[in-house]
Structure 1
Amino acid sequence: MTFDTAAPTTLRDVPDWRYMMQECDELYRYLPAGGSDRIKSHQRKAREAIARLLRGNAELRLQPRAEKPVTAHLRRALEGKQGALAPAVRALDAVAHDLSWQYGYEKVPKGLTNSYAYAELAGAQGPVVSHDIILGVVLFAPGCTYPAHAHKGITESYVCLSGAVSENHQGVYVPGSMIFNPPEHLHRITVGDREPALLAYAWMGDPADLHQQKMVFTRARPRP
């Protein structure tokens, strides 16, 4: 996709990306908070940030398209979704050809190169230019184990769009589930053996923490 460089391209110029942001707003507007005041507050702040992007007609700055080995599983993760999540999945499918899939780590653990990648939807570098929220999707191959990690100063949530995952072996999250990780919370994700897992995510925090985050895994502590 190419654009006229005389003026910035915005959400109104590319309806598929505007619909994508609208569906992100829907995820944080209607998914239940399970009675948690902390999750409810996070959902509200995410909605407000997304609403600012929509009202302000945010700039669209597409990154070079990039794929990773795990994106061979993307079609399976996107197909056949029904119910409340179907509009979000269709919106993601419509912009899939514009996504830049990344690892985000200087050193990717052995085996993870074929089973994991993420693509940002909104952030300081685009595609939707945002400075107070980062939105994206992360794709895991069947059987993937995503090592323990934490985020300094970042409040993170995942919305499961397809597949099934467990975080820290504490419950199973299926489509429509939300995982909430407060700052500094150490978390490890495992994925079911039969299907890929596709999760939408939102990061919120101070701009300095949000856009200077170093992606590192935490080494497992030796057992006594």
Structure 2
Amino acid sequence: MTDLRLADLPDLGYLLREYYELYRFLSSGGSDRIRAHQRAVREAIGRVLKANGPIGFAEPAQKPVTAHLKRALDEGRLERTAPFIRAVEAVADRLVWQYGYEKVPKGLERKFAYAEICGPTGPVLSDQVILGLVLFAPGCTYPAHSHKGISESYICLSGSVSENHQGVYAPGSMIFNPPEHMHRITVSTTEPALLAYAWVGPPELLANQKMVFSRPRKSG
């Protein structure tokens, strides 16, 4: 822990503002539930910015999938999400990429990792919202899972993904997962995918969310 506050590191503040702008201007598609989620994310980010809270940097960490990060960022510069991509690049060398699961399914450890930007583990420390990035290698299948009491959204920054085989999400599109919604993600076989995510919910759930995958049911 350091004595740094958010205002001491403008690049992190700019990145949070880019999150705010995404959740301000992306369409809700006419969905009241998505619109309410977007508002909740914006309001939480606003509180974080106003609080000028502490910064808690851990040692930067890589995972095998981060070998695809440069390609994902390069592709993102060509999309409508380019301002967000530039803000990510400004802090990329400080990111802590991790798995977050006690047991990662075989093969996934080379195709997935996430980096928290704001939340209980920092670097922007907060119990109001969790914001971060998730990186998938080409051809990744992210197993089915859900989040108790947490509303989650992904915004595609580069590449393309599908959730539950019910649509393709390209840069600038949002996936919304209400609490307890089981979801599984598949990734294009030709390009990596970089997504921003946001979780909102009660502070005690944000602080103690258990990261587990569902287990396939045995037949017979």
Bin for the TM-score computed over the shorter chain: over 0.9
Q: How does 1:12-27 map to 2 (within 5 A)?
A: 12-27=7-22
Q: Which amino acid aligns with 1:94?
A: A
- 1:185 corresponding residue in structure 2: 181
Structure 2 counterparts to residues 1-224 of structure 1, below 5 A: 5=2, 8-80=3-75, 81-222=77-218
Q: 1:22 to 1:141 in 2, by over 3 A?
A: same
1:190 is displaced (CA, Å) by 0.2
Deviation at 1:73, TM superposition (A): 0.2
By how many angstroms is 1:207 displaced? Answer: 1.2
CA positional deviation for 1:84: 3.1
* Percent of residue pairs identical: 63
Unaligned runs of 5+ in 1: none
Q: Indicate the larger mover: 169-178 or 51-60.
A: 51-60
CA–CA distance in structure 2, aligned partners of residues 196 and 146 of structure 1: 13
The DSSP-based 3-state class of the residue aligned with 1:220 is coil
1:221 deviation in Å? Answer: 2.2
The AA in structure 1 aligned to 2:207 is H
| In 1, Cα distance between equivalents of 2:156 and 2:218 | 32
C-alpha distance in 1 between matches for 2:178 and 2:46: 22
Tell me the TM-score normalised to structure 2 length. Answer: 0.96
The runs of 4+ residues in structure 1 deviating greater than 4 Å are: none
Amino acid at match of 2:130: I
Partners of 2:44 and 2:128 within 8 A in 1: yes
Tell me which amino acid in the other structure corresponds to 2:188.
Answer: G
Alignment partner of 1:90: what SS? helix
SS in 2 for 1:60: coil
Cα RMSD of the aligned pairs, angstroms, is: 1.3
TM-score by length of 1: 0.95
What is the one-letter code of the residue matched to 2:166?
Q
Opposite residue 165 of structure 2, the aligned amino acid is: H
Q: Deviations over 1:35-65 (max 9, x none)?
A: 0000000000100110111122122211211
Using the alignment, how far apart are the partners of 1:141 and 1:82 within structure 2?
19
Structure 2 regions of 5+ residues with no counterpart? none
Deviation by residue 1:114-161 (Cα, 9 ceiling, x = unmatched): 000000000012100110100000000000000000111110000000
